[in-house]
Amino acid sequence: MVARILVVDDNPTNIRLMEARLKAEYFSVVTASDGPTALKICEKGQCDVVLTDVVMPGMDGFELCKRLKRNPRTAHVPVIMVTRLDRQSDRVAGLEAGADDFLSEPASTIGLVSRLRGLIRLKSLTDALMARFPLAENSEPLADFSSLSGDEGSILVVDDNPRTYQQVQRHLGTRHRVDIETDAHEALFKVAEGSYDLVVVSLNLSSADGLRLCSQLRSLDRTHLMPILVLVESEDDERLMRALDLGVNDYVRTPLDGAELKARVRTQVKRKRFTDQIRENVQTTMELALTDGLTGVRNRRYLERGLVTMIRDAYDEGCPLALLMMDIDHFKAVNDTHGHPAGDAVLAEFAKRVSRAMRGIDIVARMGGEEFVVAMPETDVHQAERIGERLRAVVSDRPFVLPNGEVEINVTVSIGVSSLLPEGDTPERMISRADSALYRAKREGRNRVISAAA
């Protein structure tokens, strides 16, 4: 899909010129003549990168950027400020407002396009995470960019020029933990084994190729998402363009400007934490979606998906597979006598006892109500019957103590067993056979294990 660039400028001529430049590079272009219109376009998810002028009537580029970064729904959209303002203070002000870059006109097409492609790659990674759990109206965001700090980061500086890395240490050391590494090979190991928020790589290493190090960091699984900021000489556009093509996130030209370095580092640390928070929250959300909230074991959805894989693997490897269907006996009486909170406590304790008795490769899941299933790979029907008896004893041999600690309840469980057919079996059939065996156990007096094969 072609990346969509939103160009924001109150000057129609500037918009037409920028639009022509971007379309020549095969980008899709959306335009806005003021900040409020740009905010609406971003809110609707209709752009991948914002290119905004700074000096505009009403809402200027700084305010537009601040508002985008404060909104959880648009905070991940990269912003590049493009303006004829060329003072260092303007550049720093843009970065402090949350901009991902600040380009002074006339900006070279090569430089502009390289920056765009790098930021588009970054946004694509964030979009891929957020798309797995899209936000509903009024829902909590997966991460809040505005609440995150860009300070107190852990930064590795790879440079073998004492004059340069001492400057970096002096500028960043008051707000961040800064490690210096003069050996590029050793730096690669440190990043892979450490927990850095940012790697700063000098492209002027005398003992190694800084571009090669950047390429290696991008190619390894453990480091390919690590933010990289490069230090590059003012006139070395060729190596800078190559670095950006490799996926470097940002750069600072030498001789260093301390304010710009601090601002760019703070932006990268903050974006790293934002992406980490999204990734962590997505993982948590996935776990919650596949876990029973009351008992902490897997839910029916997870079981059914897992069984598909277990059955396929069992057939491929010629191994047995068995299921235990379990139902707590007379559970309704527990709720009627002691109340639903007591029933919930019994379910949670039951799941805990069963889970502790099973192997890591087994799936323990709650089907619903007081019914649970255990799926056991590499287990034949006879082994499953013995395991079922062990679980029955684990449940019945020790009373369940209610949360108040004053009431003990004797609980028993009925268990049905099924095993994988020689060919053509399915999760639904295995569950159905175990369920039929379970009801036989109920009819024959409860507190017993019955196999569907018997």
Look up the CATH number of domain 298-451. Answer: 3.30.70.270
> Per mean pLDDT, which range of 59-63, 86-90, 92-96, 198-202 is the poorest?
86-90
Q: Mind listing the pLDDT tens digit for each residue in 202-225?
A: 999 999 999 999 999 999 988 988
Structure confidence at residue 255 (pLDDT): 92
**Taken in order 266, 102, 9, 78, is the CA torsion positive or negative?**
negative
- Chain-wide mean pLDDT for the chain? 88
Q: How many CA atoms lie within 13 A of 109 on its CB side?
A: 11
pLDDT at 272 over 60: yes
Q: Which of 181, 260, 349, 370 is catalytic?
A: 370
Q: What's the half-sphere exposure (Cβ side, CA atoms, 13 Å) at 194? A: 18
Range 148-282: architecture per CATH: 3-Layer(aba) Sandwich (3.40)
Residues 6+ apart with CB under 8 A from 453: 381, 417, 418, 419
Domains 1-137 and 148-282 share a fold: yes
How confident is the model at residue 137, as a pLDDT? Answer: 46
Residue 58 burial by CB count (10 A; 0-12/13-18/19+): exposed, middle or buried? exposed
pLDDT, greater one: 13 or 85: 13
Per-residue model confidence as pLDDT tens digits over 37-86: 999 999 988 899 999 999 899 999 999 999 998 887 888 899 998 877 66
Identify the CATH class of 1-137.
Answer: alpha beta
The answer to whether residue 370 is catalytic is yes
For 317-323, what is the mean pLDDT? 94
Q: Are strands 79-83 and 101-104 parallel, antiparallel or unpaired?
A: parallel
The full set of domain ranges for the chain reads 1-137, 148-282, 298-451
pLDDT band at residue 142 under the 50/70/90 scheme: low
369-410 pLDDT, tens digit per residue, is 999 999 999 999 999 999 999 999 999 999 999 887 778 999
**Whether residue 141 has pLDDT greater than 70:** no
pLDDT of residue 95: 77
pLDDT at 256 exceeding the cut of 60? yes
- Given the DSSP bridges, would you call strands 198-202 and 154-158 parallel, antiparallel or unpaired? parallel
Range in 3-7, 92-96, 187-191 with the lowest mean pLDDT: 92-96
